[in-house]
């Protein structure tokens, strides 16, 4: 029996539709994150252990890189360059999330480590905790070995959480009604700490999240070796948790890293000192432009970035007041255009021009530092 023209067209349409679906599924097999910045699948190519990325992405993550020094993809029609050669001296990690597994790429050595996605996204309750004590508070489940430290933290964790939520004036939000307790793991030794998932080697604490599982997962890691240090680290990581709960997936946008690290440190010192306003003068201040796309090639780079991020946060809060800062944080929930959000709230320029806004921010921040006294924190 011969099919009519309309019927044949219909089946051809169905075949094309499902073929496109298969192609789309294949193209979305990988989800590439570079320094927590999601990269569209049109801008990279993966061949075995080689990752090729578009020139636009390179300029986004490394403003000063010399393109001519990078290995180029053999197909000259594509503007793709080797990510491996770009990141060979970088100490950070890139994460590739696949449908069925996760590759963690240590770009310093470019050795690939295979891990089950299940172990990464759902292992928060499966970490081996033999010998650990556990206690539960209103918002957290704490795993620890030091009895005295556990006793101290049992009285502090919920206070930290509610104090920071109160600072942002989230009092009537769902942040007071978490549907599960966030796990906090305290490592008794360096060896144990380094076994935690996705924890930078140089860190003393980390907040790790996964928005790709059916229910978002959050976990906090810290080192148990110094009780005073833990009492500084945990407010910092709890601030990251609160921003993630408020911003949702937007917290993954790398453009907001300086905001997240700045306010996390500000909450850390605010709770430590009891002061509502803290003024910070960084020892080696970064330009505001450089904070938008930081490069971490050394511990000095990390330290300078963190100090500058804290200083910028203190500038906004002390100079313009807490409530304007809260407005800014709330705007970032709906838009990651950080420069526009800053100008909408703080009116650095009358008419929006990104370059002029950045110049004005830099000038006012510099003026603030020169005309203020730093808060003694040590």
**Which tens digits make up the pLDDT trace of 253-298?**
677 889 999 999 999 999 988 888 899 899 889 999 998 877 777 7
Mean local confidence (pLDDT), 2-6: 53
Provide the pLDDT confidence category of residue 18 given band limits of 50, 70 and 90.
very low
Distance (Å, rounded) from C-alpha 46 to C-alpha 25?
A: 15
Is a pLDDT exceeding 70 seen at residue 128?
no
- For the chain, the structural domain boundaries read 28-120, 122-252, 253-356+370-378
Distance (Å, rounded) from C-alpha 281 to C-alpha 273?
A: 17
pTM: 0.67
SS3 240: helix
Distance (Å, rounded) from C-alpha 261 to C-alpha 219?
A: 17
Distance (Å, rounded) from C-alpha 5 to C-alpha 47?
A: 42
Long-range residue pairs from 80-83, CB within 8 A, at least 24 positions apart, any chain? 80/44, 80/45, 80/52, 80/53, 80/54, 80/55, 81/52, 81/53, 81/55, 82/50, 82/51, 82/52, 83/34, 83/44, 83/51, 83/52, 83/53, 83/107
Reading the block at residue 347, the tokens are 């009116």
Strand 111-116, strand 37-39: pairing: unpaired
Mean local confidence (pLDDT), 212-238: 79
Distance (Å, rounded) from C-alpha 264 to C-alpha 244?
A: 12
């Amino acid at each position: 029996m011969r099919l009519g023209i309309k019927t044949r067209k219909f089946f051809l349409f169905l075949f094309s539709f499902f073929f496109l679906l298969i192609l789309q599924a294949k193209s979305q097999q990988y989800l590439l994150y570079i320094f927590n910045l999601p990269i569209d699948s049109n801008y990279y190519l993966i061949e075995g252990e080689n990752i090729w990325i578009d020139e636009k992405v390179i300029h986004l993550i490394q403003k000063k890189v010399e393109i001519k020094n990078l290995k180029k993809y053999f197909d000259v029609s594509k503007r793709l360059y080797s990510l491996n050669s770009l990141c060979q001296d970088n100490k950070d990690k890139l994460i590739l999330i696949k449908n069925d597994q996760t590759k963690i790429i240590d770009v310093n050595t470019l050795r690939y480590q295979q891990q089950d996605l299940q172990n990464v996204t759902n292992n928060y309750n499966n970490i081996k905790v033999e010998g650990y004590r556990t206690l539960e508070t209103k918002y957290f489940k704490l795993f620890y070995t030091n009895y005295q430290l556990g006793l101290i933290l049992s009285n502090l964790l919920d206070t930290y959480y509610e104090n920071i939520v109160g600072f942002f004036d989230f009092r009537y939000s769902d942040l007071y009604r978490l549907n599960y307790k966030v796990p906090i793991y305290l490592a008794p030794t360096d060896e144990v700490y380094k076994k935690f998932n996705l924890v930078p080697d140089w860190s003393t604490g980390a907040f790790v999240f996964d928005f790709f599982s059916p229910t978002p997962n959050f976990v906090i890691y810290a080192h148990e070796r110094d009780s005073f240090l833990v009492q500084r680290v945990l407010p910092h990581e709890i601030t990251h948790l609160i921003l993630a709960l408020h911003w949702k997936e937007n917290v993954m946008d790398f453009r907001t890293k300086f905001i997240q690290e700045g306010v996390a440190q500000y909450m850390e010192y605010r709770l430590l000192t009891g002061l509502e306003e803290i003024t910070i003068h960084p020892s080696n201040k970064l330009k505001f432009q450089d904070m938008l796309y930081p490069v971490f090639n050394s511990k000095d780079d990390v330290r300078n970035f963190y100090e500058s991020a804290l200083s910028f946060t203190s500038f906004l809060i002390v100079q313009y007041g807490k409530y304007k800062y809260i407005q800014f944080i709330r705007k970032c929930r709906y838009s990651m255009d950080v420069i526009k959000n800053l100008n909408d709230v703080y009116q650095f320029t009358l008419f929006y021009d990104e370059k002029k806004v950045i110049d004005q921010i830099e000038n006012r921040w510099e003026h603030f530092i020169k005309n203020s006294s730093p808060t003694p924190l040590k």
